Amino acid sequence: MAWYELERTIRTVQKRSEMQTKGPLMEKSSIAANRIVLALCACVIGGVLNFLSMSPFYPEMSSDLGVSVSVVGQLVTFMVLLSAILGLVLGPVVDRYGFRRLLVLGVLCVSVNQIGIGLAPGFPVMLGVSLIGGFGDALVFGIAFAVVGTLFADGERKRAFSLLTGSMSLGAIVGIPLLTLIGSATSWRLALIFCGLAIAVAALFAARVLPGDQKRVENPWNLQLFSAAYAPLLRDSTTVRLLLVTAIRSVCWIGFLTYMGAFLSEAQGFSTRQIGIVYMIGAAGFAIGCSIAGRMFGPERTRQAVGVSCVVSGILTLAAVNASSPWLAVVFITLLAMASAVVGIGATFLVSTASPAEPGTTMLLNGSMVNFGSAVGAAVGGGLIALNGYQALGMGLPIFALVGAVLVLWPQRTKTIDSVQHLSGDSLLDSAVLPLAEPKTGAPI
């Protein structure tokens, strides 16, 4: 075990020893933990819909606003890049002031963004409202995963990570068809307003369920706080490599996913309805991959699974583009979604385990890497298609996947520590994998 993983385990064990209780409260703690995960999943679904809710309505929005479809699509690109940049700044802020209030604020910002876009009279107003949406997204994904990284031990943490990541696919499988149904019966504006109101309900649920915050203000604000927050992380070569794996995974997956609909239409001859079915099948494959990733145990086993899945992702991308029949391409795409889910959850778990920095800083930086990778993937994918069509896409993206495999499987430096039993004892180490006791009102995360 690497020295920083052992130190993190010691801190987790010591924290759990203070929070564990016996008897009926232990049963109650499992219920509380499940409610926390459910609230976080609802927040993550809201964050996903912040980006996906408009996609079925691009043609109608283009017609109503008097701009092209590509211009409307730039709203999402703008929010992704804004979220990536803000995530670099907000991580230390979250660690300083706590999780719950800032997570609820982020979800409410997403709600305001959806309602504001539904009410916006023109594109300039819509672009201004998207500033709020980008700010909210920077908080939602990173803090949700930071809460899990703080409250749960390794086995529970990976399961919770898989549920949070799986909820993203649930947003696509359930949320988008529901919004499309509402939009077809009314209008795209009412559909987005309804989406915003539903996300506001998720914010209220999170505010009620999540443990309270406690300010940790040791020093006045200055720029050294940010350098102090990131310095331990940036000095740790293993964590830096894992963050790069997170970004590279987004380059490969989003680089393909962005143009998958066009590929299925132009290269495989699918209708719009058939493409929608393929997206649902792919989302189901992604959910299965999340379930598989949640059953992996131990950092070393997870690291190997992520490395293998990176290689498999590259092979499946090449196979999907060169499939001999349309529905064989669908099979490859579904398997690709499963492999991508394993890489995403596994890399996030490894980052949370290896990082010597605080959870908020770590997870918001991880979220920024996801967003930067997504933006790069969309740009690289478009460039490859412009260069030599979908064949170039199928040849170029696997190169990134192979680089990701090398980075995650790179040998780690270790430092032997003879024993930590004098700090905790065997029974206390065993208690690290038990559920958390139910948080008390006002207790810090």
- The DSSP line for 141-155 is HHHHHHHHHHHS-HH
Do the domain assignments include residue 427?
Answer: no
End-of-domain residue from the set 150, 178, 213: 213
**Rounded to two decimals, what is the model's pTM?**
0.73
Same structural domain for residues 200 and 238?
no
Alpha helices of 20-153 — where are they, by DSSP H?
24-52, 58-65, 69-97, 100-119, 123-151
Task: From residue 370, give the alpha-carbon distance in Å to each of 62, 345, 353, 409, 425.
Answer: 28, 12, 18, 20, 39
What is the tens place of the pLDDT at every residue in 158-181? 788 888 887 877 777 778 778 888
Residue bearing the bigger pLDDT, 279 or 70: 279
Same structural domain for residues 201 and 268?
no
Do the domain assignments include residue 67?
Answer: yes
Most confident of 71-75, 139-143, 346-350, 401-405: 401-405
Do the domain assignments include residue 16?
Answer: no
Please report the pLDDT score of residue 367 as a whole number.
84
Q: Are 281 and 172 in contact (CB under 8 A)?
A: no
Q: What is the CATH number of the domain that holds 369?
A: 1.20.1250.20
Q: Which residue has the tokens 């001859």?
A: 269
For residue 40, give both structure tokens. Answer: 């976080």
Same structural domain for residues 179 and 272?
no
Q: How confident is the model at residue 217 (pLDDT cuts 50, 70, 90)?
A: low
Q: Are 144 and 94 in contact (CB under 8 A)?
A: no
Task: From residue 265, give the alpha-carbon distance in Å to each of 259, 281, 331.
Answer: 10, 16, 16
Same structural domain for residues 281 and 143?
no
Phi, psi (5° rounding) for residue 49?
A: -65, -25
Q: Is the pLDDT of residue 110 over 90?
A: yes
445/439 Cα distance (integer angstroms): 8
Q: Is the pLDDT of residue 202 over 60?
A: yes
Please report the pLDDT score of residue 414 as a whole number.
53
Q: Is the pLDDT of residue 154 over 70?
A: no
Q: How confident is the model at residue 218 (pLDDT cuts 50, 70, 90)?
A: low
Do the domain assignments include residue 297?
Answer: yes
What is the tens place of the pLDDT at every residue in 308-367? 999 999 999 999 999 989 989 999 999 999 999 899 888 988 888 888 888 888 888 888
Q: Is the pLDDT of residue 424 over 50?
A: no
Expressed as residue numbers, the domain containing 249 is 233-413
Task: Give the pLDDT mean for 409-417.
Answer: 63
Q: Is the pLDDT of residue 427 over 50?
A: no
**Total domain count for the chain?**
2
Q: Is the pLDDT of residue 1 over 60?
A: no
Q: Is the pLDDT of residue 197 over 70?
A: yes
Same structural domain for residues 64 and 181?
yes
Same structural domain for residues 132 and 183?
yes
Please report the pLDDT score of residue 309 as a whole number.
93
Mean residue pLDDT of the chain comes to 79
Same structural domain for residues 315 and 359?
yes
Please report the pLDDT score of residue 203 as a whole number.
95
Same structural domain for residues 165 and 252?
no
Do the domain assignments include residue 13?
Answer: no
Q: How confident is the model at residue 411 (pLDDT cuts 50, 70, 90)?
A: confident
- Number of C-alpha atoms within 13 angstroms, CB side, residue 131? 6
Do the domain assignments include residue 243?
Answer: yes
For residue 56, give both structure tokens. Answer: 């079925």
Task: Give the pLDDT mean for 201-228.
Answer: 77
Q: Is the pLDDT of residue 426 over 70?
A: no
End-of-domain residue from the set 147, 180, 213: 213
Same structural domain for residues 173 and 285?
no
Same structural domain for residues 186 and 306?
no
Q: How many residues does the chain have?
A: 445
Q: Is the pLDDT of residue 444 over 70?
A: no
Same structural domain for residues 265 and 308?
yes
Do the domain assignments include residue 347?
Answer: yes
Please report the pLDDT score of residue 433 as a whole number.
37
37/59 Cα distance (integer angstroms): 36
Do the domain assignments include residue 425?
Answer: no
End-of-domain residue from the set 152, 184, 213: 213
Please state which of the ranges 134-148, 149-163, 188-202, 321-335 shows the lowest mean pLDDT. Answer: 149-163
Task: Give the pLDDT mean for 90-118.
Answer: 89
Please report the pLDDT score of residue 87 as a whole number.
83
Same structural domain for residues 317 and 388?
yes
